[in-house]
Amino acid sequence: MRYGYIRVSTREQNIDRQLTAILKENIAMNQIFIDKASGKDFNRRKYKSLMRKLKDGDELYIKSIDRLGRNYDEIIKEWNFITKEKNVDIIVLDLPLLDTRKKYNDVTGKFIADLVLQILSYVAQIERENTHQRQMEGIREAKKRGVVFGRPKIKIPENFHVVAEQWKDGEISLRKGAALLDTNHTTFERWLKQNGYK
């Protein structure tokens, strides 16, 4: 049996491009499973229904690998579950190397597809690391130019010591002192510690 799987991240996104590609493979409309959900994990209603339907020898068609999911480590786990445990072939229409049915010079499609997925996972990991490195370098350069990150420090009010003495003498509570300084009790307590009152 042939099945198709389509995923878009939101209800507003259009499925036409994926649907057209899968229908060209002569897959019946009632054999196409469509999720309008994030690709962050595989906890999707129609995807789960599809997994229950798939049987040994079936074929699963998807337009591109990112329709399966976003995280390559998770994709590889799911790919292995489908191809090895369920013994179902996967055909990724946009990337012919990800077609587990084919043989290339006596090398099975499953083996080639596994290699391609590992390479894609590696490339994605390197790109994540490079992105992080670029962000860190950008932050360092911005700090050199005097850019300050985070919320600015709240300046201690001029009447702080008067209020702090009242708190120390037990005349007012922590919350009352904070209210007099127009701040919250956590900030007032921090100021008290910083200035040796606690």
- Would you say residue 33 has pLDDT above 80? yes
pLDDT tens figures, 44-100: 999 999 999 999 999 999 999 889 887 888 888 899 999 999 999 999 999 888 889
Query: Which domain range does residue 112 map to?
Result: 2-125
Q: Which two tokens stand for residue 56?
A: 């040994």
Instruction: Of 39-43, 78-82, 120-124, 154-158, give the lowest mean pLDDT range.
Output: 120-124
For residues 25 and 3, give the distance between their C-alpha atoms in angstroms, rounded to a whole number. 10
9 catalytic residue (yes or no): yes
Q: If pLDDT is split at 50, 70 and 90, which confidence band does 106 have?
A: low
- Please measure the distance between the N-terminal and C-terminal CA atoms of the chain and give it in whole angstroms: 74
Task: Give the pLDDT score at 105.
Answer: 65
Give the CA dihedral 12, 43, 79, 73, nearest 10 degrees: 90
In single-letter form, the type of residue at position 2 comes to R
Same domain for 45 and 89?
yes
Whether 176 maps to a domain, the answer reads yes
CATH of the domain at 29: 3.40.50.1390
168 and 72 together in one domain: no
Among 9-13, 18-22, 101-105, 131-135, the least confident range: 101-105
d(C-alpha 80, C-alpha 94), whole Å: 20
C-alpha span between 47 and 36 (Å, rounded) = 10
111 lies in the same domain as 56: yes
**Of residues 9, 38, 64, 121, which has the active-site annotation?**
9
Helix and strand element counts for the chain (H, E): 7, 6
| Residues 83, 170 share a domain | no
Handedness of CA 92, 94, 98, 101 (dihedral sign): positive
Whether residues 114 and 167 share a domain: the answer is no
3-state DSSP call for residue 91? Answer: strand
Contact 25, 61 (CB under 8 A): yes
Distance CA 67, CA 6 (A): 7
**Residue 6 and residue 80 share a domain:** yes
pTM here is 0.63
The token pair that represents 198 in the structure block: 């606690």
Query: DSSP state, 155?
Result: P
Contacts (Cβ under 8 Å, ≥6 apart) of 71: 39, 40, 41
In a domain, 180, yes or no: yes
Give the tokens for residue 73.
């480590």
